[in-house]
Structures are given as C-alpha cells and as structure tokens.
A = this chain, B = another copy of it.
Amino acid sequence: MARKKKEIRTDIGWSNASSITLFGRDFTRDILGHLNLGDMGFLELTGRFPTPDESRMFNAMVVTLVEHGITPSAIVARLTYLGAPEAMQSAVAAGLNGLGTVFVGSIEAVAKMLYEAMPAADAQADVAALARQVVKAFNESKRIIPGIGHPVHKPVDPRAPRLREIARETGFDGPYLRLMEAIAEEAGRATGKVLPMNATGAIGALCCTLGFDWKICRGLGVMARAVGLVGHILEESRRPMGEEIWHHIDEIATAHMRPAAGEGEAA
C-alpha cells in the first residue's frame, strides 16, 4: 500500500546558468537596483512590487521593529557571539528565537483579532460597535487585548502616532487602523486606564490594511530584528559586554548559596 504523494512545488523562483527568476521577474534586470530591502520584503509577502505609497508605509512598519537598544534578543545575540564568534549568523538566529508570543508576536495577535472582527476592510463599519464586541469577548474569556499600552512608553508609545501620520500621508489610515484605535479606547474605558494603541497595534492594523495573512505578521518583526541584531553583533565585536554580563549575573544569582566571606573559603 503505497503512500499517497503530495506536491513539492514553489512559485517563488528558479535559476539556471545565466538567469535568476523571482516572482516571475528577471531578478538581475528588474529587481536588483530597483527595490530597496523593505520593498523586497513586500515582494516576498505579496508577490508584487509595492506602489510608492506601499513602499513608504511598509518600510516604516519594518523600520519600527529593527532596533530598540538592549532588548532580550540583543543580549541573547551578544552572549551567543561570546561563545561562537566564528558563527555570527547563529548569534543572530539565537536572538530571533525569542520573538514569540510575548514580544513581537503581538503583531500577529492584533491582526488575528482585527480580521476576526472585520474579515474585510469595510469603510462603512461601525468600528465603535465592533470594538465593544471585541473588548467584551476578550474580557469574558480573560484574554489580554494585544496592541495597546506599553510597559515603558507611557502613556503613549511615540511610534504609534508617527505610524498613524505616515498612514495618513500614504492613504492607509483605513478601517483597520480606526478599529484598532476604537478597541484601545474601549479597553481604556472598560479598565479606567489610558491604554492607547501601541506600535505593534498600529503595525498589526496596517498588516490587515495591506492584506497580509495574520499568520505571517510576526514575520515583519523577524525580518526587521535580524537587521538590528547584526548591528548589536558589530558593537559586541568592538566593545564586548557579553562576558561581563555572564559573570555579573552569575554573581547576583548565586550569592545566596556562596559561603559568607571569612567562612568556607578559609576552611
């Protein structure tokens, strides 16, 4: 009884001795020199070239996620580089592994939430009514609403209004962004806190506006943070902090187990 075979097929591209074809285009002639790195990300996600407005918006979305100083990802990359400086690609890879549900994954959670509330962008939608339903459903199931508030940037994550501004300039300030803002407002009302839309809230809403699958939205953070982590590895190669982090944390974490000065060691 033979196994039923499935298809092995890509439509991304192929190459031969003299050419590389990607997304139906001659890579060398049509893409190289014409698209910037963010545009290339847009091409990967949509299979087509961005318009100038899409290019500006998408690049802003990913640029937002490149760098945020000393993050857990950056520390991870630096400590990995300490042990394996010959494999900097794996230091970056190690850093990306932490972009899960807690941090960058919230973009995905936002997009999923918005698509469930409004499966297609609807300019006539009553976003306030939709927002009430969303907040009620999240509260009833005791789930945390993604994309609002920020542990450091209080009350306002400064990236969110800037992304909103660029969205207005490029024409992407449509129903999904309005719905996300309405959810933030409603959640604030329900809790009595100020919980404005944060950067991942804005980016998740813009992912919906651009029509990306919610399953891939975390990918914007992954492609962006890879860029930033290379910068951290460069700084680590010039001014290392990894070894000191290790010893410093070890000392703090084990202090309670070590014999007090004058004891033990002297025995």
Taking beta carbons and an 8 Å cutoff, which residues of A are in contact with B? 3, 5-22, 27-29, 31-33, 35-41, 43-45, 55-56, 59-60, 62-64, 66-73, 75-76, 79-105, 152-154, 156, 158-159, 162-163, 165-166, 213, 215-216, 218-224, 226-228, 230-235, 237-254, 256-258, 265
A230 touches B45 (CB 8 A): yes
Choose one: B60, B71, B93, B233; the contact of A97 (CB below 8 Å). B93
List B contacts of A31 (CB < 8 A).
Answer: 63
A60-B32, A80-B72 given; A10·B241 CB < 8 A: yes
* Complex contact A85–B100 (CB within 8 A): yes
Q: Is B84 within 8 A of A162, CB to CB?
A: no
Residues of B within 8 A of A237 (CB): 213, 215-216
Determine chain A's interface SS by DSSP, over half rule: helix
Q: How many copies does the complex hold?
A: 4
How far, in whole Å, are A23 and B96 apart by their CA atoms in the complex?
22
Question: Within the assembled complex, what's the spacing in Å between the Cα atoms of A221 and B40?
Answer: 14
A257 partner residues in chain B, CB cutoff 8 A: 11, 13-14, 21
What are 30 A-B pairs with beta-carbon distances under 8 A? A8-B248, A11-B235, A11-B257, A12-B69, A13-B254, A14-B69, A15-B68, A18-B153, A22-B69, A32-B166, A33-B162, A33-B166, A35-B63, A36-B36, A36-B63, A37-B66, A40-B228, A72-B242, A72-B246, A76-B76, A83-B100, A83-B102, A84-B89, A84-B102, A85-B100, A85-B101, A87-B90, A90-B96, A93-B94, A215-B234
Tell me whether B67 and A22 are in contact (CB under 8 A). yes
* Residue of A37, A95, A252 contacting most chain B CB atoms (<10 Å): A37
Q: How far is the CB of A98 from chain B (nearest CB, A)?
A: 3
Given B5, B40, B215, B234, which contacts A66 in the complex, CB threshold below 8 Å? B40
Residue in chain B with minimal CB distance to A96: B93
Taken together as a complex, chains A and B put the C-alpha atoms of A41 and B105 apart, in Å, by: 22
